[in-house]
Chains A and B, each alone.
Chain A
Amino acid sequence: MAIDLTKADRTLVNEIIELGGEDILKCFQCGTCVADCPAATAEMPLRIKKLIHMIHLGLRDELLEEDSVWMCVTCTACEERCPRGVKPFEVCLAIRRWQAKEDPTYIPPALGEIFKTGHTQNVANVPELRKSLGLEEVPPTVAKFPELLKKFQEMLKCSKIVQEYGFMFGVG
């Protein structure tokens, strides 16, 4: 499909910079980031170089469709090796934040889980196993101290994401 640059959105690049992709304008499209990216081996590959180009061109609708960015392994090889200091991994996170803002169906359900229990895994759910190893039945994390979990939740209620999408967190 031909790209229609008359629809280019010049504000897109600033939105991504604002969300953490601050060095995105340094990219000169060499492709080092893609060369050793595990997720670039997928059939529908993550090509962070291409996504950065899309942002430079202001291709808003196309960027919103690119769920490949959620495949990132977070190994940060791209960030280590980028000769221009673009920090492609940070750009990856910034694109995800932008997508979650534009389309809340992108917001990972794990956010609600962490809000509810403090963890991505239910650490309070394996008391027998932990006891059999000679450990405390519930580990000394926020899972063990309800009053601290409450404070943790109060803190997160100050965040934009919980304020805007309270229903995802069982709030409001």
Chain B
Amino acid sequence: MLAFIIRNIGQRLILLVFISIIAHAIVHLAPGEPSLVDPANPRMKAEDIERIRAAFHLDDPLHVQYFYWMRDLFTGELKSFKDNQPVLKKIWERFLNSVPLFILATLITWCVAFPIGIKAALARGTPFDKSTTFLAYFLISFPGFFLSYILIIYLVQTFDIPVISMRTFGLEDAGTWTRINDRLWHLTLPAIMTAIVGVAVLSRYVRSQMLEVIHHDYIRTARAKGLSEDAVIYKHALRNALLPFITMFGLMIPGLISGSVIFEQIFAWPGMGRLGYDAILSRDFPVILTLNFIAAVLTLIGTLVSDVLYALADPRIKF
């Protein structure tokens, strides 16, 4: 077991090195540099651009720049091109804002998708199955921001739900309870929007996994030996159907960061996605690269944890 984990960590560290090299190469080889963001600015003279390029090491060869990035990242001294703030501190602040959104969206996704998927698989071919299938495809096919706009207009007009930013401006002196309540209401709509696509996709997977398992011989055996239907479904079938979802956990992390770009933009949520978007607009290479790097680290940790959990949960897997 320990050898398995150590070997896995080693493989992932090698992958991480390649990921960082590729990300660095993509960002630096593409045309467009921080010094070119505002070429019309009359106060930017040629020598200023020279100075900026020298300060950001943009004139050095790529591998030297990569070395500087890695060194600064691990000594924690990496500074944003835009405002000279430490990158890790900036990202950490935004990360704390994104975490509640991630957690709530993931909770909604898993709590809604599993019951629907299981029910649809058990009631295969019934109107319930057909309508949830259609609904799932309907929600997957909706352009996210279009659906958000419709929901915002409808919900704000009918229920007066706040939709912009994380808190209502001017409530800083209100009681704790009012502030918590306010935060929760602000969280509702972005979390639901982030979760909708997840629910649609995951409920389809759960359904097909359940269908796959139900036709196995051991289910027939369980029925044949006279177990109650509940025991057959929830003890024998569901446990086996759930196994693949352990591995999905790690691969969902990059999706959460990607998906948040659009929704954080719509709901003015100051999270990691918006930080990334702003960094792209201002060619803030250290922030873009570090965000990518952190996403990769989180994904690799996620897949490692799910690999280990899979091995623990499934006795058929040997090391």
- Is this pair of chains taken from one and the same complex? no
Using a CB–CB cutoff of 8 Å, the interface residues on chain B facing chain A are none
Using a CB–CB cutoff of 8 Å, the interface residues on chain A facing chain B are none
